[in-house]
Every structure is written in structure tokens, then in C-alpha cells.
Chain A
Amino acid sequence: MRMDINKISTALENMLNKYEIPETKIIGGNEGSLIIEHKGKKFIFSLCDRNFPNKPEGTPVPLYFWRANRRLNEMKNVLLTGNVKDVVGMRARAITPRDGFWNVDRLIVMVVDLVKFFFDEKIVTVFSTKMDNNYLNAIFCTEKGIRISAEIGEIPQGSIPSFMFEIIGRNGVVTNLPVDAQVSQHSIYVSGDGNVKTYTDTDFELFGLSQPEIDCVRFIMSVCSGKDSFEALQKDKSYINDVVIAIINSGEHEEKVKVTFSEGGNKNA
């Protein structure tokens, strides 16, 4: 799946106009990033790689588009409402063929970010296997001791992607995968002539966009409308980078690594 920046730009522009987001306009973009002028400043929303680029033409903003994903937000709501509570563990699987949205670096960033997104806790220790074929397995532990097992990486082209998050609380489990199923379901299946076509339309307002494109638009909307702050995103980017460094170190040295935080204290936590 390629990241169609024109589709995203058009949809975003419509949304900015419809919801009258002040002092915000799209001024450019290319595959992987979108340049937005917001209150007189330029921000470059970019898909995140391990080494996030510092571009001179504006302030880089990590495009954590998964944070706008409706299903992941519903999972978080299940935790916030206490329907599933006293979380002790999570199984995370993020495996997909490399495409315009995903490579192993972005998958790692997403999983690390989602731990904080769900639990509001930082990862403090990491054990990871060496990366091999752009794939790794890892176990993370958060500040309060939630354990996360993670399967992260690129799989051969043509393979079925799997984004599975299963959060285990003392009173129950919340997951984005149906019980007794191995792959995510779609909303529509059309079959004939030996072919099966699937459709998963989840957003009427952004009808026709793919799920990651929808999530990108909604994430940028959320930031530009002030629901998420640019400053917090910078801090998150720094934190995630620290965890990613720990993952790489752990894999290379085959040992459990404590995350060294580069800002905000907790050094050598």
C-alpha cells in the first residue's frame, strides 16, 4: 500500500475547512511527509524512522497516525472505563510486508508508542532478539511492571499482515482480534471467479481512504486542533528513540537492557 499524499492532502484540506481549524493550511508534501503551516510556523509531519530526520524547512513532527485509529482508541477506552483493569500483560504483534506506510523501524516505533498510549507508562527494560530479516521478538517491562511480548517486523510480500494487540487485565482481556480467529475480519467479502475481494470501510466522512490514510488525516487534525500538543509529541519522540536504542543494544549484545532516558530525568532508570 503506497501512501497517497494527494489523497491525504485533499481529505485533510476538506476536514480543516469543515471544522474551521484556524490558521492552518497544507503547503506541501511528498511520500512519507506532509508540510503544514500552523499559526505561522511550518511543521513537517513525517512517518517515523529509527533516525528521525531534522529537516531545515520546518519543525519535524512524528506522524503517530495509529493513535487516531478508532479500534485502538476503543481498546484504550475499555481500559479507561475500568471494564478491563489491573493490567499485567500485553501481547503485541505487528507484522506486515514493507510498503509505503510500514517498514520495520516504523513498526517498532508504533509498538513502543502504543505501550504508553494504552497504559500511560514508560518502558523501562527491554530484552530483544537480534534483528534478522527485518524482524525481531522482544519483551518489554513498564514502570509498574506490565510485561509486553512483541513480535515485530517485515514479512514477505503477499503475506497477510497481522496487527494484534491483546491486553490482559486481572478481570479480563481486551483485544482487536476476534476470539477463535487468526486474522482480522473485513466488513465486506466479494467472491467470484475464484477471487475474493475484501473491503474494510470504517469512516464515512473519509470514505475511500485506506485505514492508515484515514488515521493520518485524523491524527493531523487532532494535533492542529490542539487535542494533542506539538511539544508533547517532541517529548514522546525523544522517549521512543531512547527505547529503540535500548532494543537495538539488547539485540546486539543479547542481554536485558535498562532504558537510558535522554531527557526528563530517570537516567539509567
Chain B
Amino acid sequence: MRRINVAISSLTHAHVRKYYSTLFTNPKINWVAVSCEDENISNHFKTLGYNVPVYKTLDEMLKTHPEIDAVVCASDNSKHLEEFKTCCKYGKHILSMKIPSFDLDEYDRMIELVNRAGIICQVELELHYNPVVSRMMKLIQEGAVGEIVSFNATNITLSPVWAFPWQGKPELSYGKKMKLKENDNRFRGGALSDHPHIFDLVRWATSSEYRYVYAEAGHNIRTDLCEEDLVYVIGEMNNGTKFILDPSWSRLEERLKIPGPGWEVYPKRMEVNFVIIGTKGVLMADAFGPNVYFNGGPNNRYTVQYTYFDEWIGMMDEFYSCIVEGKQPKINLEWHRGTIEAMQNCYRSILEEQPVFFGK
């Protein structure tokens, strides 16, 4: 079995913790190195016991380890373009975080860079490798509920900004400071920017593209946050399917600097639930359930302990296959552009207070 050499850059993205264990345990992958500019994060990483060398910059890491085949670019959203440039310069395959860029011109440059370098670029939308979602998609395709009338989904979580401060800074999460709407002191880059998954899955489930989106941002739950944290979205696909999406940070959290036990205030940190209303029936699905429940430490709160959470295994297996066999990943940059455009149009809808019709 051929093994591939993989590295991680930056270590600042909220998902990076998932990659630590996935790279460490996947027998097809040789975890070579990490790069990290932030000294605190770097020091914390060294305490985790993975025994992987840490470099100050991505460039230094790639120069030192020419054997690296691929890089998991785990930086904040504003740094993705620069990391793409570096990886392309060295001809390294890329596993991109879920938001390559919100700037569609920049996004197109990334596509161009990847195509010119002839590398594989996969975008991490891990729900595609979630067993509940896989079953749900299979059932939909088999016509279990008939034609879909409405695709209703939540991707609601606590806010990660206290543990991952870049997510609370619009210029780092959204890429620039852009007002949410007139007479509003908040900026783009909050909950909506954090939750692309359901915007992607509605495209897969309906095999259709967006006709229009309409979005509203409510008053913030966290008044000290300068980005949106409560957002509701509705709209319609080209094939007539309705949808309603909730990508909010509507679950409260303790403001921990390092995620761990007791992070959640609401018993469940994250809910990705679906209600698919069809002409023949209804399908309800919980991507993260059933679970285990406890109270006791650290805050003596009733808590939902996640039990099934292994999406990253399937995702890394696909990334590996794409590199070894030279094939395109399911979630490649071109495909994912439609999802980013939909999220952008949600921000436009919030600004203009009217629906945004695609192609207009």
C-alpha cells in the first residue's frame, strides 16, 4: 500500500483538532510536519504528544520536507489564498478548509492556480462522509419520500469565537470588513460564514441549483460580538424545491480558550438536523445522534456527549484515493463555488432586505 506524506499548515482553524487524530491513525498517511506562526498554538500543539516537527512558516516546512505530497491548509479564511499560492508553487495537493474564500474573484484565482499547478484540491465538507447523511441521500435518491417539496435543515452550534478568535474578526473570517446592513454596527463573517454544509447539501439532495435566497439576521444573541450570530434563510431551487436553513450560533457556550469538557451551556453543542418534506412522506434525520448523556463535571450540567463523529476518516480516505488515482474529489473548488455564491447572496439579501435571484 502506498502511503502519502501529509502536513498541516497554520493550526488555527477550528477543525484542525480533527485532523490531528485522523492523520495520526490513518495507515495510508504519513504525517510529516506542521507549520504554525502563532507561538501559543505551537506550544499547545507540542503538549499533545504527536511528536511531529513544527515549523514557523508553510514555506519553510515545504522547503525542509520535499517529500510532502499534500497539505491540509488549516489557517483562517483570510490566509487561504496565500497558502494556496505557496502549495501550488511547490506542487503540493491541497485539502482546503470549508471556506476557501468569500471573494469570488479571489476564489476564481484559486481555481486557476490549482488547475495550472495540476494538483488535487479537495474542500473539506465532512458531512458528505457522515453515515446518517449518506443514508438520507440514498433514501432520497430511492424516492423514499417522493419528490422533495421542502428541504429543511439546521446547522446550529455554539459560537467558536472565544476559542478561535479569528472567527470573531470580520477581516479574518470574511476576508474584509463589510457592514451587515445599513444602520447596523455588525459585519459579515459570523455564524453564516461558519456553516456552509447545509447550503451544499441542499444542492446534492435536490440535484438542482439555487433560484433565489432570502435571509434575515436577527438581533445578536451575544451583544459583544461584531458579527451576526442568528440567521434564518429560505428560498427555492430551480426545480421548485423550497428550503429553509438555519446556520446560527444559537447554542450558548462557556467562553473557553481551548475547547474541552464544559464548553457547552446548551446541552448539545451542535445540531445538524433535517426535515425533508416529500410528496409521499417525510424524512427526519439527525446527523449527530443518538448520543450519550451525562451530568457531573465540570459544571454539573446535563450534557449530550457526542458518540458518532468520524466524518474525517472517510474524507481523508477520499483525499488519499484522489491523490493516488489522480481523480477529482466530490467536493472540488469548481463545485463548491455554487455553495459560496449562495452564502454570498444570503449576505446580499440581508443587506438589501429582499430576496436575491441568481443570475440577476
Contact = CB atoms under 8 A, between A and B. Distances in A.
A135 interface: yes
Q: How large is the interface on A (under 10, 10 to 19, 20 to 34, 35 or more residues)?
A: 35 or more
Interface stretch (B1-9, B48-56, B238-246): B238-246
A172 B223 CA distance: 14
B279 A156 contact: yes
Contact of B242 (A137, A145, A171): A137
A33 B281 CA distance: 30
A180 B291 CA distance: 8
A151 to B, nearest CB: 5
Contact of A127 (B267, B282, B355): B355
Interface stretch (A13-21, A62-70, A106-114, A158-166): A158-166
A137 B150 contact: yes
Contact of B275 (A93, A132, A169, A172): A93
A89 B293 CA distance: 27
Interface of A: 88-89, 91, 93, 95, 127, 129-130, 132-133, 135-139, 141, 145-147, 149, 151, 153, 155-156, 158-160, 162, 168-173, 179-180, 182-183, 254-256
B268 A180 contact: yes
A255 B250 contact: no
B149 A133 contact: yes
Interface of B: 146, 149-150, 152, 154, 212, 214, 216-223, 230, 232, 234-236, 240, 242-244, 246, 248, 250-252, 265-268, 273, 275, 277-282, 284-286, 289-291, 293, 302, 304, 353-355
A89 B232 contact: yes
A147 B266 contact: no
B216 to A, nearest CB: 5
B162 to A, nearest CB: 16
Contacts of A147: 216-218, 230, 232
A179 B149 contact: no
B139 to A, nearest CB: 14
B284 A162 contact: yes
A24 B178 CA distance: 62
A136 B244 CA distance: 10
A174 to B, nearest CB: 11
A156 to B, nearest CB: 5
B252 A172 contact: yes
B234 A137 contact: yes
B60 to A, nearest CB: 45
Nearest to A128: B234
Contacts of B216: 127, 139, 141, 147
